Amino acid sequence: MMGRLRHCAALLAAAVAAAALCCRGPVYTPESMRLHCILLGNTEPDSPFSGFNERLPDLIRTVNLENPVIVIHSGNLIHGGHSWMGIKEKDLTRQYEIFQTKIRALNAPFYCLPGEKDLFNRSARLFQEYTGKKALYSFNYGAIHIVMAPMIDIDGYPINDQIAWIDRDLSRNAIRSATLVITHMPPVNPQGPRLSDETAGQLHKVLVKYRVQAVVSGGPGRLYETSKDGIRYIVAGCGGFSPEDRFKGLFQYYTVHVNGAEVRIEGKKL
């Protein structure tokens, strides 16, 4: 009888210890909390009707030398638009085929989200077909959670629905050591387009609730950063690829380093 009681007591102690461990959450290794990635953006050519970004191969070769573990594109892979502009679906498919051929030379997994120029008549169908990515999704790298949300109006993905989706996604991943939200349209941007104050406020409430470390946006504009309620808002616009903006002092890509809750970003030129 005493032996059976001791056995039961040992089982109970093990169960209590396991429950306590679960309550503390997962134990992450230091390596799982680190990330070195590259952020690209705005690689579209000047015209939707001919050519492509001729600096794209040089950009890819340079990025490979950085040896990132992942590469993220914040939107405007190509130059699309609306049929009333004279743009046809074949203009986008040609560009997507060229872009996909070039981007395969990357030595790291590639993630992207759509910008307004990746759409045809506000539809992300071609973007999803050629990139294999949804217009709105998330993924994990070790203990780090990364949300990819365009924050532009897309057929089937209104902005309010995107914010609601982000809320649900973050609630399922609240145990992660760090969370980054990548958007195309910046919530805050004194130098160019941004979300309306009302929409940015709705998004901010969600980010604060889940203690998101940073929002990194790739819309137009130079590197800019501000913070509110512990949330860092970073505009990391890329450019300098075409004759029109070659001499505007824009960065062509960014290195992003995450170490636990610390996020560092640095602009780079070709």
Res 6 pLDDT > 70 = no
Mean pLDDT of 50-76: 95
Mean pLDDT of 164-185: 93
pLDDT score, position 31: 67
CB-facing half-sphere around the CA of 94: CA atoms within 13 A: 14
CATH: 1.10.3720.10, 3.40.50.620, 3.60.21.10, 2.40.50.140. Which one for 26-268? 3.60.21.10
* Residues 205-246: tens digit of each pLDDT: 999 999 999 999 998 778 999 999 999 999 999 998 877 776
Question: In terms of pLDDT, which residue wins out, 177 or 206?
Answer: 206
Share of the chain above pLDDT 70, in %: 88
Instruction: Return the beta strands (E) in the chain as ranges.
Output: 34-40, 70-73, 110-112, 137-141, 144-149, 178-183, 214-217, 224-228, 231-235, 253-259, 262-268
Res 265 pLDDT > 50 = yes
Beta-bridge partners for 161: none
pLDDT score, position 209: 95
- What residue segments make up the domains of the chain, in order of their start? 26-268
Mean pLDDT of 11-18: 41
Of 196, 159, 183, 163, nearest to 236 (Cα)?
183
Res 40 pLDDT > 50 = yes
- pLDDT bucket at 182, cuts 50 / 70 / 90: very high
- pLDDT bucket at 112, cuts 50 / 70 / 90: very high
pLDDT score, position 191: 80
Share of the chain above pLDDT 90, in %: 74
Evaluate whether 180 touches 37 at the Cβ level (below 8 Å).
no
Res 70 pLDDT > 50 = yes
Res 130 pLDDT > 70 = yes
3 state SS of 34: strand
Q: Which of 19-28, 236-245, 258-267 has the highest mean pLDDT?
A: 258-267
Whole-angstrom Cα distance, residue 224 to residue 216?
A: 10
Evaluate whether 55 touches 47 at the Cβ level (below 8 Å).
no
Mean pLDDT of 156-173: 96
pLDDT score, position 245: 73
Integer-rounded Cα radius of gyration of the chain = 22
Mean pLDDT of the chain: 88
HEC assignment per residue over 96-161: HHHHHHHHCCCCCCEEECCCHHHCECCECHHHHHHHCCCCCEEEEECCEEEEEECCCCECCECHHH
